[in-house]
Structure 1
Amino acid sequence: MSEIVSVIITTYKGTNKLRRAILSALKQTYENVEVIVVDDNNPETKDRANTEKIMSEFENINNVRYIKHDHNRNGAVARNTGIKASKGQYVAFLDDDDFFLPNRIQICVDAIENTEYIACYTKSVLITNGKIKRVNDVKIDPSYKDVLLNQNLLGTGSNIFVSKKCLRALQGFDERFLRYQDVEFILRVLEYGKMKAVDTITVVKDVEDIRFMPKFMRLKDMQLLFQSTFGQQIEELNNDEKWAYYSVKYYDLLLSAFESKRVGNICAAFSMFHKHCGVHIGFEIKIVIKGIILCVFPEWYKDKFVQKDSDEAIVLPSDQERMIESMYKEE
């Protein structure tokens, strides 16, 4: 009999697409699947009530389990709750607004079963407001350096497929991280073993809108935590790689500071940037211009810089297009 694969779906204020996520896990070509939905909404809220209503549709399905937190705890904790409840030899994670294509689990099991690999990821698709924005390609045998220099390597946290042995060794997700949970976890996975890359689309990240920057103080705290946790790995980068890493990190932090419209936050962000990168006049001028536009014309900024369409139309293989279209009918 094939090994059990546990699909852990964490949900928080995401009931509008939760049903589709669950169905995508249940309709896999791989048969031995259990689905664990971890509800991280606060009790006595509309989001908890809506989630309970959706889950009532699956209460008679034996391989679907529903776990409710007694209060909102965060995504890393919710995933760890699911890991502790899981029975599978392998674990796949799925965000409540994303979905798997029907062959996702079979492809991942075939990729790592009876091999030296302890995890797997595949190509993924980003769809925004119903339109394909990007296909995330894979890098063969990625290293921790590849993740540091491209923290969107997986495309979505729903692209994590890992052995239970690895999860036990790493003790799950680091619950201190309110952001970067997927990145910190994959960095530790790659220190523990090898991750297989599969050159096939099996997961779709679906967002209705691309939001502006997160709150400055939370982002700053999480960046400091990330840098202190993985400082040794960052120091092993060469100078060009360090600039590539820090320029991306501080691009987000500086724009978040501008969006807060607080001079103190902007000064603090530039101080952190100068500490790690020194002075880069061209980069800083670019940030200031974008920051001013973000503050004064936020909608224009989003249309111009955040949701800019690809210059070329993205065409997927016809079978994958059909699978994606069929899942949209499940909403």
Structure 2
Amino acid sequence: MKTKLVSILIPTYQRPLTLSRAIDSVLNQTYTNIEVIVVDDNNPNTDERLETEGVMLGYKKNSKVKYIKHEYNKNGSAARNTAFQNSKGEYIMLLDDDDEFLPSKVEAQVNRLEKLDSSWGACYTKYKRLKNGKIDTVCAEKKEGNLYFDELCRNLFIQAGSNLMLRREVFNELGGFDESFQRNQDIEFTVRLLKKYKLAYVDEMGLIYHRHSTKRFFNMDKITNHYLSTFKLQIDELSEVEKVKFYKIINLQLFRYKVLTIRDFKAGYSMVKNEDVSLIDIFKYFTHLGYRRMFKKSYGFNL
């Protein structure tokens, strides 16, 4: 029986040192009918472009690896779309340039989708998150089925940007990634995916997600407002009960960022004062975060 071709899309930007690890993890899969599409999103004539070109020279004779260079830096969404446009696989997988697949990931996900009907558009595996070479978190999500609301709330912890396998026709129907998103690109894409299709869980440790120590901060209010405006129609379609729950979770995420990440306690106090978040919900949410940290498990918040 002929196996179906699987295309793995790898956008790369300013990470030449980890790129070969990601590519090699795909080439070392137990499932061999694969192609790797690497899209270089570095600006030309930069050190990162030159170093990435040097890395890719090592794969020049490998017929399974295709290397494409953007004429200028666009963003990760655009790079994924370029990769898809140059792919041929019946199944599509995503992988960030600093993460890595474990050897049986592709085979396990192909086997899962092959047994499901077309209402199941994608699947994911378990993952472990490493920080400085040590396990920081292990995926504890095992949800499957209709998970649209969970993802709309940004409350489904599956590391979709490196963990999804989709049917080609599903990716094509969705029109790829929204290139206006600078952050939350994978969440935005997965929301649209789960609006139309069910998501399957594969009980296999398939991914190593590498977390980096960074002091980069983002304007989370701006990012969230862009997210809310993009999905205004979908939010308006929610029931009143769902809307209340949705905004509670979104505001708790903002509160967490302000208080725990950027240490802006004044902004956090303002959210409480303005009744954007309640003290009892803060207690529940931070208890949830405490359990996750204590047991090194990653899973969504059940309000």
Give the structure-2-normalised TM-score.
0.83
TM alignment of 1:112-151, pairs within 5 A = 112-116=113-117, 117-136=120-139, 137-151=141-155
For structure 2, the residue ranges without an aligned partner over 5 or more in a row are 284-288, 298-303
The alignment partner of 2:151 has SS state of: helix
Q: Which amino acid aligns with 1:174?
A: D
Question: Alpha-carbon deviations, 1:100-157, whole Å to 9, x = none?
Answer: 0111111111111252221111111100001101111321224111113454521351
**Matched-pair contact (CA < 8 Å) for 2:145–2:200:** yes
| Residue-pair matches, total | 284
Q: Which amino acid aligns with 2:257?
A: D
Q: 1:41 to 1:47 in 2, by over 3 A?
A: same
Q: Which amino acid aligns with 1:244?
A: I
Partner of 2:202: 198
**Matched-pair contact (CA < 8 Å) for 1:98–1:204:** yes
The alignment partner of 1:95 has SS state of: coil
Question: Alpha-carbon deviations, 1:249-305, whole Å to 9, x = none?
Answer: 34325767767x9x9xx59x95xx589x7354748999xxxxxxxxxxxxxxxxxxx
CA distance in 2, matches of 1:170, 1:200: 27
Question: Alpha-carbon deviations, 1:59-88, whole Å to 9, x = none?
Answer: 000110000111111110010000100100
Shift of 1:12: 0.6
The alignment partner of 1:6 has SS state of: strand
**Matched-pair contact (CA < 8 Å) for 2:122–2:164:** yes
CA distance in 1, matches of 2:144, 2:276: 35
Q: 1:313 to 1:80 in 2, by over 3 A?
A: closer
CA distance in 2, matches of 1:149, 1:121: 18
**Percent of pairs identical after alignment?**
34
Partner of 2:232: 231
TM alignment of 1:1-331, pairs within 5 A = 1-116=2-117, 117-136=120-139, 137-209=141-213, 211-212=214-215, 214-216=217-219, 219-235=220-236, 236=238, 237-252=242-257, 278-280=275-277, 282=279, 310-312=293-295
Q: 1:160 to 1:309 in 2, by over 3 A?
A: closer
Q: Which amino acid aligns with 2:197?
A: G
Bigger shift: 229-238 or 112-121? 229-238
Shift of 1:309: 9.7
Q: Which amino acid aligns with 1:57?
A: G
Q: 1:280 to 1:183 in 2, by over 3 A?
A: closer
CA distance in 2, matches of 1:208, 1:44: 26
RMSD: 3.1
Q: 1:107 to 1:285 in 2, by over 3 A?
A: closer
Structure with a larger share of its residues in helix: 1
Deviation >4 Å, runs of 4+ = 253-259, 279-286
For structure 1, the residue ranges without an aligned partner over 5 or more in a row are 287-305, 315-331
Q: Which amino acid aligns with 2:254?
A: K
CA distance in 1, matches of 2:133, 2:261: 27
Q: 1:60 to 1:177 in 2, by over 3 A?
A: same
